[in-house]
Structure 1
Amino acid sequence: MKNNLVSIIIPCYNQACFIEEALYSVLEQTYTNWECIIVDDGSTDDTKKIAQYWAEKDSRFIYFEKLNGGLSSARNVGISKSKGTFILLLDSDDKYDFSFISKAINILEKDPNCGAVSCWGQKFIKTKRLEIFKPTGGVIEDFLFQNSAIGTSMLRKLCWQEIGGYDEKMKKGYEDWEFYIRLTQKWKVHVIPEVLFFYRQRDDSMRKIAIKNYDKVIKEYIFKKHKDLYVLHYDETIKHFLEEIEINKCSRLKLLNSLDYKIGHFILKPLRWVKSKIS
């Protein structure tokens, strides 16, 4: 291991109640040659107070405040101010296992074809551990129609520079997936088959917002932005959409044949008859 500097970027917007857990997971890393840049994206809570306290306690923690611009903007600002060869992204309400940096940097240093390193993750609420998720990583074909890695991974700063950073127009989620689509056109993403990342499950999380905006984000932006890429992978694209149509068709048939639907249809039938006579 070459002991390269790792820059940990933690964007934060009104997460004062959670950010210390994230910072503790940084402080506990077995790999110690790091700087941690906390990017306050216009918070109105006690984020500044907490971050400055940590910066005073350990000079490796650096606080930077900016006007609110969204997650992609905060990540880009933090990375642009970083000095490390490698970048580790961490959202302010999540945590990494103490061994992650050591394991991830070892892979990046050995494999020049690897642009980013991720791992398996586990959701949690307070002290309760929930389901484990196991992304597979891979190359561009693995990222065309889904995100096959955790969004907050360790990556080469060179990769971020060459592909133009995070897309700051994307403010409704999936900015990490779109970033990987560009990254994996040249590099691969390695996933460590261990649970080393812990994702806080929250009702107002970005992922839940993203799911609500799925069709709009995916169909109206990502696919159009990378039109040439999907044309290049025409057969895979057609297969994907045909399978999606079939899944939707089966889901609708299942709904139509369900007992709840039939009871509801039976109850509403007289009302529909009355409405038709009135109109």
Structure 2
Amino acid sequence: MKSPSPLVSVVIPCYNQGKYLKETVISVLNSKYRPLEVIVVDDGSSDDSLEIAKQIQGEFPEIKLINQENGGVSNARNNGIEAARGSIILPLDGDDLISEEYIGEAVRVLEEKPQVKVVYCDGIKFDESGQKTWNLKPFDRHQLALDNMIFHAALYRKEDWKAAGKYSEEMRYMGREDWEFWIKMLKNEGEVEQLPFTGYYYRLTPTSKRKKTATSEKKRERIAFLNQRHKDFYDRELNGPLRFNRSWSKTYNTFLKLIGKL
């Protein structure tokens, strides 16, 4: 007898994304995969996001709503995942979209290949002016030390989120929390699989956090945090710490060691 399909929990932090939230939720509910639950975490929005989330909850029984004071996206994701009943998690921002086949194909991989920890797909970035393909490098642990090639909206097992230590809420003002989370989950073991189709659509907005955290100051804060938290990983992959000019890190570290400066 075939075992039942695992419940997938889609966790959607929402901070002032009310105008897009219903479109995001509907894209999830249009998925061909079941069973699903959708957890919307309103992260202290100052717009009408909470009212819209309540309207959506009244319309669709699969929706669970968490209302919290503003704590940042990592805090909202962690709280949503804590409340999730599903064994498989898909984090999704409150203004993004997914294709109808994405969840089902990702679950199939996770079910068939226990050695795979993370499944994602091809992505597209879009805004009102159009869209462009998101060119992602293939997964490689050495490359993960230098940069992130897995967007946040990938599927993984809840038990692996817990084992990795969850999302680091200390990175609230640094950005790229998903990069550090993938390092925690994958730095020592686990495979990653990228599905060969476009299943994720990342909305570009003028107020997106990614733009706000793209400054040199935030980059330095981020690098210092990564080096402090994952020294063993960087010593192994880059022969020393991650540098501001990231692509030169291993070369520079090797030179410093050669002359006795590291």
Q: TM-score, normalized by length of structure 2?
A: 0.86
Larger radius of gyration: 1
CA drift of 1:180 comes to: 0.3
8 Å contact kept, 1:119–1:192: yes
Q: Provide the residue aligned with 1:99 in structure 2.
A: 101
Question: What is aligned with 2:55?
Answer: 53
For 1:198, the equivalent position in structure 2 comes to 201
Unaligned runs of 5+ in 2: 250-262
Q: How does 1:109-258 map to 2 (within 5 A)?
A: 109-126=111-128, 128-171=129-172, 172-185=174-187, 186-212=189-215, 213-235=217-239, 243-244=247-248
In 2, distance between residues paired with 1:187 and 1:244? Answer: 26
How far has the Cα of 1:170 moved from its partner? Answer: 0.5
Do 2:175 and 2:222's aligned partners in 1 also have CA atoms closer than 8 Å? no
Over residues 114-155 of structure 1, what are the superposed CA-to-partner deviations in whole Å (9 max), with x where a residue is unaligned? 1111111111113x4321013245353231111011112111
| Deviation beyond 3 Å, 4+ runs, structure 1 | 234-245
Normalised to the residue count of structure 1, the TM-score between the two structures is: 0.81
Flag the 1:109–1:176 CA change in 2: closer, same or farther, 3 A: same
Taking a change above 3 Å as real, the CA distance of residues 18 and 224 of structure 1, as seen in their structure-2 partners, is same
**Range with greater deviation from structure 2 (4-13 or 140-149):** 140-149
- Paired residues of 2:120 and 2:194 also in contact (CA < 8 A): yes
Please give the alpha-carbon distance, in whole angstroms, between the structure 2 residues aligned to 1:164 and 1:236: 23
Distance in 2 (CA, whole Å) between partners of 1:49 and 1:162 is: 35
Aligned to 1:8: 10
Q: State the distance in 2 between where 1:134 and 1:103 align.
A: 20
The aligned counterpart of 2:252 is: none
Structure 1 residues 61, 219: CA separation in 2 closer, same or farther (over 3 Å shift)?
A: same
Map 1:257-272 → 2, pairs under 5 A: none
Q: Is the 8 A contact 1:94 1:200 kept in 2?
A: yes
* Range moving further from structure 2, 4-13 or 112-121: 112-121
Q: C-alpha distance in 2, partners of 1:209/1:164? A: 26
Q: Secondary structure at the match of 2:19?
A: coil
The share of aligned pairs that are identical, in percent, is: 32
Amino acid of the structure 1 residue aligned with 2:177: E
Greater helix share, structure number: 1
Structure 1 residues without counterparts, runs of 5 or longer: 246-279
Partner secondary structure for residue 144 of structure 1: helix
Shift of 1:200: 0.7
- Give deviations 1:213-266, integer Å, cap 9, x for gaps: 552233221122211211122448689968548xxxxxxxxxxxxxxxxxxxxx
State the alpha-carbon separation in 2 of the partners of residues 242 and 11 from structure 1: 30
Does structure 2 retain, via aligned residues, the 8 Å contact 1:119–1:134? Answer: no
Query: CA 1:139–1:236 in 2, change beyond 3 Å: closer, same or farther?
Result: farther
One-letter identity of the residue aligned with 1:160: W
**Structure 1 residue identity aligned to 2:212:** I
Q: 2:119 & 2:112 partners in 1: Cα distance?
A: 12
